[in-house]
Chain A
Amino acid sequence: MGKLYDKLAEDVRFVESLKACINCGTCTAICPAAEFYNYEPRVIATTVQSQDDSKIEELLKSETIWYCGECMSCKTRCPRGNAPGLLIIALRSLSQDLGYFTASEKGRQQLAIKRTIGEWILKYGYCVNPDLLNPRLHPEQGPVWEWERDNIEPVMEKLGANYHGDGPGALRRMSDDDLEEIRRIFDITGGTERFDKIEKFSETKAEEMHLELGHDIDSEYFDYVYTTNNSKHTKS
């Protein structure tokens, strides 16, 4: 057994997701990602099952592990009770721990996810907030969303939200004490460490690419990872 395989085997999600894959391809048949991208969850399971460290390292540095949408449709249908989607989560965790994620275009996007959803959790207590969904970055949200954003306070009042208010309710302002508890949980459980690693490895990559990393979503590297698509990921 290789060292990378051993590391994967320490992850409870790996233990739960892979029990002797029979390579039947049912997961690939049901997988939305396999229909869109050059992707086969069956191949992921086969590669990991080989316990070949060089192949696993290649996988951890590849575009492939970032194609899954984690819908978990594979889990329902696998005749062996495996969950390639869960295996993907374990692989992505290890790829970030080792800094391999910056070797691929799709992997490098983790910086954009950390600087949006990740930091929003710590700032707002929720993964998403209407203040953050700028119509410029989300043209697909359409003119109604733009109107809603322009009139956010009266619209939210009409819909019964407690927008930036104290006390319970939708879109309330989280208290400093509650946010501090969440921050402490991140510090103790490895969440902060994961964020720091994403920044650290992205910094090295940004330097290599001569792009400014910055500290927020207004930076060259953020813009690059958020928007770049080399158009080689999908089926013709």
Chain B
Amino acid sequence: MKHEGKKLVWQEYQKEIADDHFFYARSCIRQTFFPGSEKVFTKILKDELGKDVYDSEHHTSCTGIGYHADAVPFETTMTVVARQFALMTEAGYENYAASCITSFGLYTEILETWHHFPEVEAKAREFLFKATGREFKIPKNLAHASDIIYKFRHEIAEKAKYRLVDKNTGKPLRVVEHIGCHYSKMFPHKGVGGAEYPYVLTGMIEAWGGEVIDYPERRHCCGFGFRQYIVQANRGYSIACSKKKFDSMEPYEPDMIITNCPGCPMFLDRWQYALSEMEGKTYGKNGNGIPVFTYEEVAGLVLGYDPWEIGLQVHQVPAEPLLDKIGIEYDPGSKFKGPNGEDLGHPEAPSYLKFYKE
């Protein structure tokens, strides 16, 4: 097949992604807002693909949000990251898989810093040993968890129960892909497809039957901005960034948004709700929003996992329009039920955004 234009550019940025034996580091935001996604990631790797994933109880945050909100010094962050590497080394692993994009970007930045300034690495080793008695080896392979799902996208497609296709028309779904800024904006050669045309999510979408929308603000930040969201007085920055993206993608009538960063899906989900409450504006059809998904959730959906087992009920923008369009089977009545089918009540309906209960 002849590749031209952007597809040709994408071909130029490929990265090595380990095949097996991953040391998995969880994400502060992912586990708080989308714990089902981390469950799906480990389930797919272990149960569907037969891979070995080590889930350490001892690792912590990399402190990345604290670092990028400027409350945590670089030396502290580097030493905490060194401790994560030590836990990996002690467990007998060499391939580090980060659930978080901020972490992935920070690990990359730290490894690059250590490469160019060996004395900084020596200091981090000294600090770590002094504080914990631990030592570490540099990971042989560093991947973001989305890199790994990307690597196995065709295997997932072979096992898929559903495709990202409109069941009525047979046409591919129109998908917005949103890449976390720190995936490759700092170090383009460390991301699949680089920074301008990252291919990591596009590859999944194409392999699973969808069609990617190329809209003007495709690469704009979701608006997290660390301190720009953490501090209430600054949140205008955050919602303004998301609004800019929604306004830009709306004319292309996307069926869904897929993200690879822990924070982005939360912001793109919640800010749609906030904008609807503030302005009465919804970005989907008939009072619906544009459903936002993590790539793990989408992988789980195409594999036929129950939407409420993977966590779609904790999204503020309902996923049902998308589930119905694909033809995914689900029980509307169990959406807000507990693990044993117990009644947990249900959230209040928003003022404008269409609400699905049963």
Q: Report A's interface with B, CB cutoff 8 A.
A: 12-13, 16, 32-33, 35-37, 66, 68-73, 75-76, 83, 89, 92-93, 96, 106, 109-110, 112-114, 116-118, 121, 125-130, 133, 137, 139-148, 150-151, 154-161, 166-172, 174-175, 178-179, 181-182, 184-191, 194-195, 198, 225-229, 234
Contacts and interface: CB of A to CB of B under 8 A. Distances in A.
Contacts of B225: 32-33, 68-71
Nearest to B61: A126
B232 A16 contact: no
B316 A144 contact: yes
Given A117-B69, A154-B344, A128 B32 contact: yes
Consensus secondary structure, chain B interface? helix
Contact of B32 (A12, A33, A171): A171
Given A32-B225, A158-B308, A118 B66 contact: yes
Interface in B84-110: 105
B226 A227 contact: no
B78, B235, B339 pick with most chain A CB within 10 angstroms: B339
B221, B226, B232, B311 pick with most chain A CB within 10 angstroms: B232
Interface residues of B, number: 95
A140 B224 contact: no
A181 to B, nearest CB: 5
A151 B63 contact: no
A191 B73 contact: yes
B70 interface: yes
Contact of B181 (A73, A89, A198): A73
B36 A159 contact: yes
Contacts of A114: 71
Contact of A127 (B28, B70, B116, B195): B28
Interface stretch (B143-151, B167-175, B199-207, B266-274): B266-274
B61 A121 contact: yes
A76 B188 contact: yes
B195 A189 contact: no
A139 B316 CA distance: 12
Consensus secondary structure, chain A interface? helix
B72 A72 contact: no
Interface in B214-269: 219-221, 223-228, 230-237, 239-241, 244
B131 A69 contact: no
A161 B35 contact: yes
